[in-house]
Amino acid sequence: MLSSSKQLFSQAQGLIPGGVNSPVRAFKAVGSDPLFIDRAEGSKVIDVDGNSYIDYVCSWGPLILGHAHPEVIKAIAAAALKGTSYGAPCRQEVEMASMICEAFPSIEKVRMVNSGTEATMSAIRLARAFTGKNKIIKFEGCYHGHADAFLIKAGSGLLTAGVPTSPGIPPEWTAYTLIARYNDLQSVRTLFEEHHEDIAAVIVEPIAGNMGLVLPEPHFLQGLRDITTQYNSLLIFDEVITGFRLTYGGYQNIAGIKPDLTTLGKIIGGGLPVGAYGGRQEIMDLIAPQGPVYQAGTLSGNPLAMAAGVATLRMLKEGHIYHILEQRCLKLVKGLAGLFADAGEKVCINHLGSMFSVFFNDSEVNHYETVMRSDTERYAAFFRAMLQLGVYLPPAQFETAFVSLAHEEEDIDRTLERARQALEMLPKRG
């Protein structure tokens, strides 16, 4: 008999394109069918068949406190009792804006939206308006949501599906998106030398999290700051994943770099749909109704997302949380590294704070090209074995895994035990 997940998937495929509302959920890259989730609590998701999994996807990053954290649920419930959306300003938006501005020295004003995609597409519109220039530079393998300008050599589900550039975008428009190589300043300089009079902004994930986790090499981000300043272009840090993930603020706080604009999402919504973009006041004041750059949203700054986000940020402000997260992730990645080595399995594990990626790769992974040399079949086999044993890893090699505060030592120990078993289940190499 078919499992409930399989039955739902079969029904969904007749009703929803691909049976899912976001491609990366479909498990296509790992040769499996998606789980349909019934509920989630703490470090676990429980599917509609009653199977429980230790969850390292964490809704792709927002759930840094774990699923259904009592403080967050309490805040959402209290807000819901007062109405779910007003389409008018509310107190919680001001609180959220003030928390973001306080946490990010580069953000003097911030505008709330409903997703990371909205944040990044609005940020480049603003950058173009501010500079009077048209082109943007993005990096191969970086993903900034699904607006037209970004679906060129993009990461995440596009990398996984092997179609990094989406059809449906007029070729003339792609002329406005220039592609550089992550961790390669020379590739950026070359583009500025060719197009400098017309580059409005460089947008970058300061920690690349959508081709798996790839860390910036020393001086890369500072180099971007210097080059953009030299050419009067803006530097946009896409911190949708890294905002409040590694410290109370963004990766920019750790790197000591002030971008002109920052995009946020995920954690600031505490698991509800959210996005935000912010930066220097002189730039942000170009946005309507203060200025002429139009951007709007019926549900922007809605009280539920704001309440969930504010409750999450209040918890995170207790700084020791980041230390706990880092220690737990470190224990996990060290344990995994030992197990893979014992099994003679060549992997490169990139990690930072509570983020990690296991690349089935025999070299260091620090550029798009090395990412793409990973053994995706082997990752898929490992993913399937782990899932069978009750551990839910990102369902694609080119994604980042997250540890949450709800991942107790016991979860980490159990994950390592399961990884040992999973490695025994992998097909022997020929």
Rule CB under 6 A: which of 152-181 touch ligand HOZ?
Answer: 156-157
Nearer to ligand HOZ, 24 or 72 (CB): 24
| Residue labelled with tokens 């296991």 | 358
Residue window 135-154: x/- pattern of binding to ligand HOZ, with contact defined by CB under 6 A: --------x-----------
3-class state of residue 112 by DSSP: strand
Asked if residues 176 and 149 have their Cβ atoms less than 8 Å apart, the reply is: yes
Q: Of 10, 11, 22, 165, which lies in the binding site for ligand HOZ, with binding defined by CB under 6 A?
A: 22
Query: Nearest approach, Cβ of 24 to ligand HOZ (angstroms)?
Result: 5
Three-state DSSP string of 309-351? HHHHHHHHHCCHHHHHHHHHHHHHHHHHHHHHHHCCCCCEEEE
Q: HSE, CB side, 13 Å, CA atoms: give it for residue 262.
A: 31
Q: Which of 109, 135, 153, 266 is catalytic?
A: 266
Q: 158 vs 306, which CB is nearer to ligand HOZ?
A: 158
Minimum gap (Å) between residue 36 Cβ and ligand HOZ? 15
Binding mask 209-238 for ligand HOZ (x = CB under 6 A): -x----------------------------
Looking at the Cβ atoms of 176 and 402, the one nearer to ligand HOZ is: 402
Which of the 8 DSSP states describes residue 155?
A: -
Give the three-class secondary structure for 138: strand
Q: Is 251 a catalytic residue?
A: no
Amino acid type, 221: L
Per CB under 6 A, the list member of 5, 9, 24, 97 interacting with ligand HOZ is: 24
- Minimum CB separation of residue 143 from ligand HOZ in Å reads 6
Residues 6+ apart with CB under 8 A from 18: 26
Q: Name the minimum Å distance from CB 1 to ligand HOZ.
A: 30
Active site residue 53: no
For ligand HOZ, the closer of residues 47 and 399 by Cβ is: 399
- Of 60, 182, 192, 379, the residue at the interface with ligand HOZ (CB under 6 A) is 60
CB of 387 vs ligand HOZ, minimal distance in Å: 18
Q: Considering the complex, state which of residue 24 and residue 137 has its C-beta at the smaller distance from ligand HOZ.
A: 24
- Total interface residues for ligand HOZ by CB under 6 A: 8
282: helix, strand or coil: helix
Q: Which is nearer to ligand HOZ, 157 or 243 (CB)?
A: 157
Considering only CA atoms, which of 52, 50, 51, 49 is closest in space to residue 3? Answer: 49
Question: Which DSSP symbol is given to 233?
Answer: -
Shortest spacing between CB 108 and ligand HOZ, in angstroms: 27
**Closest by Cα among 146, 152, 207, 184 to 357:** 207
Closer Cβ to ligand HOZ, 156 or 262, answer by number? 156
266 annotated active-site: yes
Q: Which residue is nearest to ligand HOZ (CB)?
A: 22
Closest separation in Å from C-beta 172 to ligand HOZ: 27
For the chain, what is the total number of helices (H) and then of strands (E)? 15, 14
Residue 402: strand pairing partners = 355
Burial of 173 (0-12, 13-18, 19+ CB in 10 A): exposed
Instruction: Tell me: does residue 350 bind ligand HOZ (CB under 6 A).
Output: no
From the number of C-beta atoms within 10 Å of its C-beta (0-12, 13-18, 19+), residue 208 rates as buried
* Residues 395 to 414 in contact with ligand HOZ, rule: CB under 6 A: 399
The H or E element spanning position 40 is strand 37-41
Residue placing its CB nearer to ligand HOZ in the complex, 35 or 97: 35
Closest contact distance (angstroms) between CB of 379 and ligand HOZ is 15
Residue holding tokens 């530079």? 137
Sheet strand arrangement including 355-359: 348-352, 355-359, 401-402
Binding residues (CB under 6 A) for ligand HOZ: these are 22, 24, 60, 143, 156-157, 210, 399
Active site residues: 143, 238, 266
